[in-house]
């Protein structure tokens, strides 16, 4: 797919079209091997947009083929956190989705430009994200955009991402 013009916008969770695209894009990512290979639950599909809208710290960026917003291309979901060391907000890039047919055409780069602008408006000191070690394409993108693995002291090593599911 050749993408001469890409329309990138902040998602408005109250707009039915944006809410639908948010779920559609995230479900596509969830079904991708890099997203776990399983579709979103019906609960997530039904409640995602309203749940994000209820959280002031959340925002999303959508990419479409054109300003008419008919053909979605990508999504980035972000959640504001707080850097205690800097005593300022930070923005965690939680999900990055670009449909397979559109990858390699700088769609994510265009979405990240808006994410960075919104993060600056919020007074954030940095963007954070996690990526699977096997997702080499994403790692190349993030490096090109200026992301680097987190470390305080090279002798202490690089940060590792852990999780623990709660009942």
What per-residue confidence (pLDDT) applies to 119?
A: 98
Report if residue 95 sits inside a domain.
yes
Domain span at residue 41?
Answer: 7-146
Report if residue 42 sits inside a domain.
yes
Express each pLDDT in 116-163 by its tens digit: 999 999 999 999 999 998 999 999 999 999 999 888 888 888 888 888
What per-residue confidence (pLDDT) applies to 160?
A: 82
Report if residue 71 sits inside a domain.
yes
Report if residue 1 sits inside a domain.
no
Report if residue 67 sits inside a domain.
yes
Report if residue 98 sits inside a domain.
yes
Question: What are the angstrom distances between the C-alpha of 47 and each of 23, 89, 128?
Answer: 9, 26, 25
- Helical ranges in the chain per DSSP H: 16-31, 42-53, 107-121, 136-144
Which CB contacts under 8 angstroms, 24+ apart, belong to 125-131? 125/83, 125/86, 125/88, 125/89, 125/90, 126/83, 126/86, 126/90, 126/91, 127/90, 127/91, 127/92, 127/93, 128/81, 128/90, 128/91, 128/92, 128/93, 129/92, 129/93, 129/94, 129/96, 130/161
What per-residue confidence (pLDDT) applies to 106?
A: 93
Express each pLDDT in 26-74 by its tens digit: 999 999 998 899 999 999 999 999 999 999 999 999 999 988 899 999 9
Report if residue 152 sits inside a domain.
no
* CATH code (residue 51): 3.40.630.30
Number of domains in the chain: 1
Structure tokens at 33: 């091997």
Cα distance between residue 144 and residue 13, in whole Å: 30
């Amino acid at each position: 797919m050749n993408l001469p013009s890409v329309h990138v916008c902040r998602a408005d969770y109250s707009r039915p079209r944006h809410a639908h695209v948010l779920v559609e894009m995230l479900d596509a990512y969830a079904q991708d091997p890099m997203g776990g290979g399983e579709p979103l639950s019906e609960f997530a599909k039904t409640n995602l947009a309203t749940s994000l809208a209820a959280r002031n710290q959340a925002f999303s960026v959508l990419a479409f083929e054109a300003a008419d917003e008919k053909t979605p291309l990508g999504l980035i979901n972000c959640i504001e956190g707080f850097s205690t060391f800097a005593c300022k907000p930070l923005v965690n890039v939680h999900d990055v989705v670009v449909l397979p047919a559109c990858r390699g055409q700088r769609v994510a780069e265009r979405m990240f430009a808006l994410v960075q602008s919104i993060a600056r408006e919020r007074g954030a000191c940095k963007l954070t994200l996690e990526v699977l070690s096997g997702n080499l394409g994403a790692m190349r993108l993030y490096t090109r955009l200026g992301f680097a693995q987190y470390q305080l002291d090279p002798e202490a090593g690089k940060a590792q991402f852990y999780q623990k599911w709660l009942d």
